[in-house]
Structure 1
């Protein structure tokens, strides 16, 4: 094109750069890589969330199972002990049931098995005798236990209760102190009377060198639920 002064004006239009096939492929792979990265991150987050939910669910189910098992065992214990109690009341004799986790000749009450023995021993000898039975002298720490024991024996029997001397507190074999607001020692507790026995529902102090029958106690296992049916 020629202007008025005779010069020619060139009208040159800028051209857009053309992408080579290599540049196009590179851009495409970048996009795909980004998509894959985002997808992978989403998958990882999803799996982590699922894993947390799964572990939480497993813990919940395990806790529920343990709770149900504990409840079943408590019900089975009460039913078994009540069955033994009612049968003894009817027959007026000692009764053993297969549901009891205690060995033969041992009575099932609360969480313990009780053995009543007619060995005439000193308190320390009685303590050793019970230890040989994988047990201890009886801990009658509440009135309910005292009543249970008194209903099953009329003999004087050692308890796992003693003190070092008249200036010391009375303690059970496991080291726990005697709860005076629950059980009071009857009779003279002065001098060398540092061991205790049970007689007719009352706890008395006596010389540890005296000789009496004894009662042993050991922790009961699980009630045999299958034997209740």
Structure 2
């Protein structure tokens, strides 16, 4: 009797072990299957991420190329607008596309004011400063050509004052000279000499306290394309 019980118990235990093993196998299979599915999802997400990064990179490159093209087009448009405005301003100085203030002359990239009143060199410099400008400096041959075209005579220039005068100097030899004034409006001695234009192409020294006309210069504003197009409708078309 005891042997049957023992055998039955053993059989029952073996049966329980088998069931546990089967359950474990089922759980393991589920875990494996779940892991495989999640791995596949992860691979898909990784692939999607890589494709998205490629598309973003391509889009950025495309945008950069578009940006460069837009910049080139803007520069070309600005150049054409400036040339057209310059021609319009030659025929009609008060044209609204003119980038210089009223009574200022547009030449190259700058605006020039030729004064009608007479002032000392120091006061001339202050007047230019009050107009957000400075006394004329000869930076290149284009400025020299502008001076020649205006037949200027006895106008103060933006050259630093000095204690001793020298002989007449040719204007073109002063292009980009370190002598050009860098702004210092301290009171000048009555014996200081400042330079002005004589006979269009020569520089002459005179006392800084001598009243003369003066030339102010400042950078011209960019020409606005819309200012050219406005009111430029051909006759008969409204």
Q: TM-score, normalised by structure 1?
A: 0.72
Root-mean-square deviation (Å):
2.6
1:48 and 1:142, CA in 2 relative to 1: closer, same or farther beyond 3 A?
same
Unaligned runs of 5+ in 1: 1-16, 89-94, 176-191
Q: 1:161, 1:78 → 2: CA distance?
A: 31
- 1:152 paired residue among 150, 153, 163: 150
Give 1 or 2: higher strand fraction.
1
What SS is found at the alignment partner of 1:104?
Answer: coil
Q: Which runs of 4+ in 1 moved over 6 A?
A: none
Q: Equivalent residue for 2:30?
A: 25
What SS is found at the alignment partner of 2:96?
Answer: coil
Q: 2:192, 2:28 → 1: CA distance?
A: 104
Q: Equivalent residue for 1:225?
A: 225
Following superposition of structure 1 onto structure 2, how do residues 1-229 of structure 1 map, counting pairs within 5 Å?
20-85=25-90, 87=91, 95-165=93-163, 170-174=178-182, 194-206=193-205, 207-229=207-229
> In the alignment, is the contact (CA less than 8 A) between 1:162 and 1:170 conserved in 2?
no
What SS is found at the alignment partner of 2:114?
Answer: strand
Give 1 or 2: higher helix fraction.
2
What SS is found at the alignment partner of 2:57?
Answer: helix
Deviations 1:102-158 (A, max 9, x none): 111111111111111122112111111100111111122222212213323444211
Q: 1:172 deviation in Å?
A: 2.1
1:196 and 1:71, CA in 2 relative to 1: closer, same or farther beyond 3 A?
farther
Q: 1:199, 1:227 → 2: CA distance?
A: 38
> In the alignment, is the contact (CA less than 8 A) between 2:108 and 2:142 conserved in 1?
no
Deviations 1:186-227 (A, max 9, x none): xxxxxx774322233213131322221011111111113223
Q: TM-score, normalised by structure 2?
A: 0.69
Unaligned runs of 5+ in 2: 1-20, 166-176, 184-190, 230-238
Q: 1:41, 1:110 → 2: CA distance?
A: 58
